[in-house]
Structure 1
Amino acid sequence: MRRLFVLVFLFVTTLSINAQTPNAGKGKIAGKVIDAVTRQPVDYATVSVFKQGGTSPFNGISTDPKGNFTLDNIAPGDYRLTIDFLGYKKHVIEHVIVATGGNVTLGNIALESIQNQLAGVTITAKAPVIENRIDKMVYNAANDLTAQSGAAIDVLKKVPQVTVDIDGNVELQGNGNIRFLINGKPSSIFGASLADALQAIPGSQIKSIEVITSPGAKYDAAGTGGIINIILKDSKVQGINGSINLTGGTRQENGSFNLNARKGNFGVNAFFSGNAQLNTTVLSTNNRNTSGPGDSTTHLFQKGSAATKRSGYQSGLSLNWDITPKDALTASVGFDHFGNHSNGLTNQQESITNGAGDLVSDIISLRNSDSRFSAYSTDYSLDYKKTFAKEGRELDILFTSSYSKNTVNYFQRQDYETPGMISTGIRGFNPGNDRETNISVDYTHPITKTFTIEGGAKLVIEDLKNVTNTDTLLADGSYMNNADQTYGFNYKRNIYAAYLSTSASLFKKFLDVKLGLRNEYTTTNANFPGVVIPGYNTLAPSAVISHKIGGTQSIKFSYSYRIERPDYGEVNPFYNISDPHNISTGNPNLKPEISNSFELGYNKSFDGGANIYIGSFYRHNSEDIQQFTTQYDTLSINGKTYSNVLLSQRANLGTQASLGGNVFASVPVTSKLNLRTNIFLVSRTNDAPGVGKVTAFQYRLNLNASYQFPSNFLAEAFGNYNSSSRTLQGNRPQFFWYNIAVRKQFLDKKASIGLVANNAFSKYINQSSTTSGPGFSQASLRQLPLRSFGITLSYKFGKLEFSKNKDKEGREDNGGQMPAEPLGGK
């Protein structure tokens, strides 16, 4: 409560200071930008303000979705305004006179569209790499050179407030419970293996990544860390156009193809992308000491290597039909596949000494392991959107369905050098499938120009099925089915949701407020002996309060209530025995994690293009879900006994309180050199009854530098450091990653060739970690070969045609991509 009081106090104090800032004598310029023919509003048009005779704008703003703009805090004087938007002629208004304390209302400003076809168009204007909006932060990957050669997991390393460890585990503001979306919609591709799914999406296929740390009532309440929405490339520009991107490298290869066609009120978008991680061998060592009966000590030493390769592809087709100027229908289908194959050899030595230090036994063995995982998924969606005569009134009906089929094959065998010991081993075949259907209805109704009500309902149906078939190695070398470890596990979950939210401008637009309340009722059925999961209701409030200071600054305070439902993998009681000394299993009795989150953020733009964002947050989780490891001298699993075992399992372990901050800055040092940096830090305190209280500090630093040389030659470098941090039972290792890229554009910027290097000066990244608990301590070292070199090729083709109807055309930001429209009931 003290931390909450400090946050609120800072927010209120800032508002009071700014409210008292003397603005006497300064005025405003307001207006609305519309299409000259259709009279429809033009959103995202750029309004720039120049002093008469000046060549550089000193102020500016983008129009809102209704085409409106307001420039505040304008000193008395004579100004020139320009209004720009792709596909329209630039509109210039000379001699806009602002008197002392006066407000200038320009009314409707009509833009004339460009009516001729453009056989070859070079678009030089582009969105900034980082955009800080009122409800989200947007990372425009399409405008980042070094982001194009890797996969989605590499792109996420560059996104503010996001941290990614060496294994592909993603955290948002230090929290790993994140809801991932693709184009604003859920996909079963994330349910099977998040790390593999993110490795299978090429960076060249990603238009932008939206980070939503305090989702409103319109979004699902799931994900205590927030929402990450991956927007894939598409286009709503008239005509036929497309792009091809290829990357070849020593460690990773990917490619993508996009084709867009639109004529009149009908458009088609199609894409195919593929990604492959070449065979990568990871070296590992593990030292463990455990206490046994009679003051005995067991020492286990493991040293081995594992070769892993990944591959995947994505494809999709979407159809857009503007039935009438106020009725639009969008249908899409996507097919995805990803998988991995890993095999390795591990040398093991297990020795036992008594209390006097005498050697009691010494067992030497060789473990041979192999695992294969594959997932196929299909996503369908149908979206109907209707607008009404009253501006801002809208109805959105969305249906999505996702189906995935997953298969896991694994094998492990241990051969002993000790005389008289026979080989042991198991193999398994685990097919499963996952189907998720979402149906949502959202309605927006503006009561006045400054007060709007939104409401909607949603149904989520999840059905997961898994079969575990396990065979045990016999003394004669053959395998026999183990009935005790062969079973089926079906898991069904339904979520019934409804929400209501309001947004308003108060005190003569001094404050913008959005309040919301979402209710979700969850029922779960798992047909496994002894597993009963009761239904529960979730009432999730949310609030955002923001204040604009002139036209260049804003401050925001937000609150959200979120939950984290245990997913299928966390509750599945299947035992993973690929390493008999390190076994993991699910926990069917997990309860939902509950989170209360508060945020305070400040954003300022400077003349010349610089931008800074400073934010802080406090989050309190109860029924906190954490990984916990327990040591067993012997562990019996379905009729078979294993010795010297560490069993890892997720559990609800008390509470977690996190207090952190984020600083982002983008500075154009010169017209050629641009620097971006992001600093994230968080202090977490876990209080787990029976385990203890642990406070950990973690930080992340990164720096991006780009330089524009003559002749369309661009160079860019990026470095990222994640610090180590304590956990309940040990520590997570630090991580440093960097890359360098250069690109040359030619053929009127329609084609480019580039070179990229990742971790060029170190063959391995060393990852040292420790784990300890009652009766055991363990130290591990993993060496991952992340050094790679590659070449990238890209080509844009086609004809762009701009129509008079602004609602039927798009905006190209360095790749022909539209800003994603929000989808209902996320």
Structure 2
Amino acid sequence: MRKLLCSLTLILGSMSSLWSQIEGRVIGPDQEGLPLANVVLYQNREIIEGLSTDMDGRFSLSATAGAYKLHFTYVGMQPDSIDIRVPASGQLNLGTIELKSAASVFEEVEVVAQSKMMEFEQDKRVFNVAKDLTSVGSNASDILNNLPSVTVDVEGNVALRGSNNVRILINGKPSGLIGSDPASALRQLQGNTIEKIEVITNPSARYDAEGEAGIINIILKKQDQKGFNGSFDLSGGYPELYGAGATMNYRQNRLNFFTNISFNQRRSPGGGRSDQKFFLADTSYSFSRDRYQSRGGYDFNFRAGMDYYLSENQTLTGSFLYSPSRDQNYVDLEFVDRDINNAIVREVNRHDAETETEEVVEGNLSWQKTFGNNKDHKWTADFRYSLEDDRENSRIEQDTLGRPGTFLQQVANLEYQRSTLFQTDYIHPLGEKRSYELGARSTLREIENDYELSDRADDGTYIPDPEFDSRFLFTENVYAAYGIYNGAYQKKITYQLGLRAEITDLTTEVGYGDSVNRRNYANLFPSAFFTYSFSPLSDLQLSYSRRISRPGFRTLAPFFGFSDNRNFFSGNPNVNPEFTDSYEAGYVRYFEKGSLYSGLYYRHRTGVIERITLVEERDGQEFTRFFPINLAVQDAYGMEFNFQYNLAKWYEVNANLNLFYTQLVGSYEGTDFGADNASSSGRLVNRFKFWDSDLQVSFNMDGPSQNAQTRRLGIYTFDLAWTKDFMKGNATVTLAVRDLFNNRVRRYYTSGPIASGGYFDTFGTFQWRQRQITLNFSYRINQRKSRRPEGRGEMEGGDF
């Protein structure tokens, strides 16, 4: 036994002598220690060890003898790296390492390293898609529904903090990928092409003024590592889901080539039921509608580009996007009409088979120049041109029980869109924490829509219905310029003041010159941000911005929806833009293992665009018409909380809660459409690490809401995902279940006036698609997952 103990002692002693201690202290420009700074030790580009400094900025690592690189990062500071050589034994004391302050804490940094699921930056929150396990095999619509304060209803409409007036960008710019139907476009954009998503609730003058609730910016994947690297994905699931994708990059000397390719085929069954009652002066009656649908098809996305490094300070980037898709959609409707005694008077079956094909082509060219050794002094220019062609053809069959023959209709809808963007931005630092920015942008957009509904005559020919035969031309040109000044007062206060001017030139045309409506208006949009740093671990920010929500193509088009002959969707060419004044106050507190953000916000809207529901009569049959109008005023008050914490090495929790209250005042043709709405949304994500795998359990809440006419019940869902790495960390398999209990169903109640007198009530349920189960396999080449230290350092990128 004594010999055994001696042998063990000698072995352990010899092993410990192989390791050396690396010690040091990270300080800032004020010579104070930086708590919870990131310290990462590299050897041959592989991460050996990473940690966060203590509250005095000190750190200690262990490593065997050899050459290494130490990398230091901290919020608001410029990253730094040093080369070290660790001796065979003993201790290596590096003394103090001073990090320099970033030229401006307002600089918008793209965070490309793998980090937390959500990060705070100065005027936005960044959601890292890869960190949400349930995003595997999902599309952009699914991923957005996972974001804090963002909800996507069962029809695919996106809302931010309870408002649907949100601007969606791709790589910081409008894109043909989104087009005039964002709900459909987001379902076609696959998650494996998305790097991260930025949620900007109070945008500065740097951004477009469009979007009352703010901006959602989707950043697509792109790498610039030297040599070849890439990732490949395969997905399968139920209901029908097949997908494959690849992201590749090759950099050599002055050239960097990148590409994203994805193919997806899915089919989503869904349906619902509505019961509608009509109360007239002398009678009442009702009908019920059961809806069964199956929507799906394929979509393909190909994006390729090249960076050419003209010099150390100049880069030219060009990229090309091609995205075709084809969907086969089927809808079956069963109507049952009842009289005042609830007796059945008619039963109708209606079948709609639709084929939709779409092609998007887009080209981008960007140029960037930095000046001297200051990377923050730069000038950029961008050009984008896109074309979109969308064709929808439907064949509608209607049978009435007890009546011979089948009534047939055809719908043909052709939509063509062309858009051009020019943009330039210039940033000039004036010293530490001071700079000014100037920029200009022109966005030119034209959409032409031809819609034709035809009824089959007795001789078999199809005759166009003049009421639903129209051409609509929408032309919108927006010219903008902005200026921003970033400054600081003493050491704790930083601020940003901005002003943006936009001129809008809008023309709509119905038919071929039959009805032309031209509008031209100019507006100023100020913005202001003030940040007070109590310490390196806590900040308070106050902000203000003015926004505009211009009526889009579908809001102004006189008619754009027909598949159910008892429900019509139309636009209103007389709708004007609405304006919003937005105020926010937020406080963020960082801990050693997490963070807490709490904020208050207030929005005052004028000329509110609201879609209302009226019952009208056509050919002796009442039908429901949905169309937009400008109501008077809406005030929205809210508070938001975001909490992240690593309770243990094996357990991480992320929670978000948004509480808000809106008050809408307005009337239309003598009917009051005012409404008060108190609602909430939230998400709780629990992530467990065990047996070299991760398990994520998510709870999603979209509380009950009320608008001018409709009361919607709350929606509460669970998502589940499990993932495991293998093949030395180069491969990952993920099993995800969205809507675990299959209860993401919209339940609603609507009431309103009947044009001829009386009122109606509607009770309904609708489920866009059922629970989705997805299995995904991912393989990476020269892209192993990073092992990053926990704590505040993972939330780098700005004060907020």
Whether TM-score is above 0.5 comes out as yes
| Conserved 8 A contact 1:236-1:811 | no
Q: Distance in 1 between matches of 2:633 and 2:320?
A: 41
Q: 128, 141, 144: which one pairs with 1:153?
A: 141
For the 8 Å contact 2:134–2:737, the answer to whether it is kept is: no
The alignment status of 1:372 with 2:361, answered yes or no, reads no
Partner of 2:24: none
Contact residue 30 and residue 106 of structure 1 kept, 8 A: no
User: C-alpha displacement at 1:403, in angstroms?
Assistant: 1.2
Q: Where does residue 272 of structure 1 map in the other structure?
A: 261
Distance change (3 Å), C-alpha of 1:303 and 1:513 = same
Residues of 1 paired with 2:559 and 2:85: CA distance? 63
Kindly indicate whether the alpha-carbon contact (under 8 Å) linking 2:572 and 2:628 is maintained by their aligned counterparts in 1: yes
Deviation string for 1:137-158 (max 9, x for gaps)? 0011112222223111121122
The alignment partner of 1:404 has SS state of strand
- Match status 1:485 vs 2:472: no
Name the aligned partner's letter for residue 122 of structure 2.
Answer: I
2: CA distance, partners of 1:125 / 1:691: 52
Alpha carbons of 1:258 and 1:291: their partners in 2 closer, same or farther (altered >3 Å)? same
SS in structure 2 of the partner of residue 153 of structure 1: helix
Residue 740 of structure 1: aligned partner: 720
Among 648, 663, 666, the alignment partner of 1:685 is 663
Amino acid at match of 2:232: I
Q: Is the 8 A contact 1:215 1:226 kept in 2?
A: yes
CA pair 679-30 structure 1, distance change in 2 beyond 3 A: closer
Q: Residues 53 and 523 (structure 1 numbering): CA distance in 2 closer, same or farther, change over 3 Å?
A: closer
Q: Give the drift of 1:63.
A: 5.0
Q: Which aligned pairs between 1:380-399 and structure 2 lie closer than 5 A?
A: 380-389=363-372, 391=374, 392-399=376-383
Aligned match of 2:780 in 778, 790, 796? 796
Gaps of at least 5 residues in structure 1 are 1-25, 34-44, 70-82, 97-103, 110-123, 636-640, 801-809
**Mapped contact 2:285–2:342 kept (Cα < 8 A):** no
* Greater mean deviation of Cα atoms: 446-455 or 539-548: 446-455
Asked whether the equivalents of residues 149 and 682 of structure 2 are also in contact (C-alpha less than 8 Å), the reply is no
The answer (yes or no) to whether the contact 1:575–1:584 under 8 Å persists in 2 is yes
Answer yes or no: is 1:698 the counterpart of 2:679: yes
1:28 aligns with 2:32: yes
Whether the 8 Å CA contact 1:237–1:811 is kept in 2: the answer is: no
Q: Separation in 2 of the partners of 1:753 and 1:88?
A: 37
Work out the CA distance in 2 between the residues paired with 1:697 and 1:495.
35
Q: Distance in 2 between matches of 1:563 and 1:404?
A: 25
Correspondence for 1:228:
216
Letter in 1 for 2:160: L
The yes-or-no answer on 1:179 pairing with 2:163 is no
764 and 696 in structure 1: CA distance in 2 versus 1, 3 angstrom threshold? closer
Distance in 1 between residues matched to 2:470 and 2:156, nearest whole Å: 30
The alpha-carbon deviation at position 728 of structure 1 amounts to: 0.9
Give the match for residue 587 of structure 1.
Answer: 572
Q: Give CA deviations for 1:452-472 in whole Å, capped at 9, x if unaligned.
A: 111111111111111123211
Is 1:602 aligned to 2:587, yes or no? Answer: yes
Tell me which moved more, 497-506 or 138-147. 138-147
Distance 1:736 1:264, change over 3 A: same
Q: CA deviation at 1:49?
A: 5.1
More divergent stretch after superposition (464-473 vs 623-632)? 464-473
- Matched to 2:595, the amino acid is N
Distance across 2 between alignment mates of 1:630 and 1:233: 45
**Inter-CA distance 348–222: structure 2 relative to 1 (3 Å threshold):** same
* Match of residue 601 from structure 2: 617
Note the alpha carbon deviations across 1:267-315, whole angstroms, 9 max, x for none: 000110122322x3323222111133x5121211222312222432211
Which residue among 689, 701, 705 is the counterpart of 1:708? 689
**Alpha-carbon deviation of 1:737?**
2.3
> Using a 3 Å threshold, how does the CA distance of structure 1 residues 763 and 325 change in structure 2: closer, same or farther?
closer
What one-letter code is carried by the residue in structure 2 that aligns with 1:613? Y
Q: 1:575 to 1:442 in 2, by over 3 A?
A: closer
Secondary structure (helix, strand or coil) at the match of 1:519 reads strand
Q: Pairwise mapping of residues 735-774 of structure 1 onto structure 2 (< 5 A)?
A: 735-760=715-740, 762-763=741-742, 765-774=744-753
Amino acid at match of 2:414: P
Task: State the distance in 1 between where 2:606 and 2:399 align.
Answer: 46
Matches within 5 A, 1:314-353: 314-353=301-340
- 1:663 shift after superposition: 0.8
Q: Report the more deviating stretch, 142-151 or 47-56.
A: 47-56
Give the whole-Å Cα distance in 2 for the aligned partners of 1:140 and 1:290.
49
Note closer, same or farther for the CA distance 1:754–1:667 as it changes in structure 2 (3 Å cut): same
Is 1:201 aligned to residue 185 of structure 2?
no
Segments of 5+ residues of structure 2 without an aligned counterpart are 1-29, 39-49, 63-70, 103-111, 754-758
Instruction: Look up the SS of the partner of 1:192 in the other structure.
Output: coil
1:577 corresponds to which residue?
Answer: 562
1:353-752 to 2 correspondences below 5 Å:
353=340, 362-389=345-372, 391=374, 392-419=376-403, 423-506=406-489, 508-528=490-510, 529-607=514-592, 609-632=593-616, 634-635=617-618, 641=619, 643-689=621-667, 690-710=671-691, 712-752=692-732
Q: Distance in 1 between matches of 2:778 and 2:92?
A: 36
1:27-176 superposed matches below 5 A: 28-29=32-33, 48=53, 55=60, 62=73, 68=78, 94-96=94-96, 126-176=114-164
Seen in structure 2, the aligned counterparts of structure 1 residues 108 and 535 have a Cα distance that, compared at 3 Å, is: closer
> 1:201 touches 1:274 (CA, 8 Å); kept in 2?
no
Moved more, 362-371 or 779-788: 779-788
Question: Is the contact made by 2:136 and 2:736 (CA closer than 8 Å) also made in structure 1?
Answer: no
Confirm whether residue 212 of structure 1 aligns to residue 200 of structure 2: yes
Distance 1:759 1:389, change over 3 A: closer
Amino acid at match of 1:135: D
The one-letter code of the counterpart of 2:456 is L
Amino acid at match of 1:747: M
Question: For 1:338 and 1:331, how far apart are their aligned partners in 2?
Answer: 24
SS at match of 2:770: coil
Q: CA deviation at 1:588?
A: 0.9
Deviation, 1:501, is: 1.0
Q: Deviations over 1:123-177 (max 9, x none)?
A: x983111100111100111122222231111211221121122222111121111
Distance in structure 2 (CA, Å) of the matches to 1:381 and 1:173: 32
Per the alignment, do residues 207 and 575 of structure 1 end up closer, same or farther by CA in structure 2, a change over 3 Å counting? closer
Does structure 2 retain, via aligned residues, the 8 Å contact 1:151–1:275?
Answer: no
Structure-2 change in CA distance of 1:313 and 1:439 (3 Å): same
Separation in 2, partners of 1:125, 1:441? 27
Residue type of the partner of 2:694? Answer: L
Which one-letter code corresponds to 1:415 in the other structure? D
Q: Could you tell me which residue of structure 1 aligns to residue 46 of structure 2?
A: none
Provide the C-alpha distance between the structure 1 equivalents of 2:371 and 2:58, rounded to a whole number of angstroms: 43
User: Conserved in 1, the CA contact under 8 Å of 2:34 and 2:53?
Assistant: no
Find the counterpart in structure 1 of residue 19 from structure 2: none
Tell me by how many angstroms 1:375 deviates. Answer: 2.0
Q: Give the Cα separation in 2 of the matches to 1:133 and 1:108.
A: 16
- Matched position secondary structure for 2:518: coil
Cα distance, 1:708–1:168 mapped onto 2, change above 3 Å: same
Alignment partner of 1:485: what SS? strand
Q: What residue in structure 2 maps to residue 776 of structure 1? A: 760
Shift of 1:64: 7.0
Q: Of the candidates 226, 235, 244, which is equivalent to residue 247 of structure 1?
A: 235
Matched pairs, number: 717
Pair 49,93 (structure 1): closer, same or farther in 2 beyond 3 Å: farther
Question: 2:154–2:767: 8 Å Cα contact kept in structure 1?
Answer: no
Q: What amino acid does structure 2 have at the position aligned with 1:699?
A: S
Q: How far does residue 701 in structure 1 lie from its aligned partner after superposition?
A: 2.4
Which amino acid is 2:262 matched to? S
Correspondence 1:259 to 2:248: yes
1:371-410 deviations in whole A, cap 9, x for unaligned? 2333211111111111112733211111111111111212
Q: Secondary structure at the residue paired with 1:197?
A: helix
| Preserved contact between residue 202 and residue 254 of structure 1 (Cα < 8 Å) | no
Q: Indicate the residue corresponding to 2:7 in structure 1.
A: none
Task: Tell me: CA distance 1:597–1:46, structure 2 relative to 1, closer, same or farther (3 Å).
Answer: farther
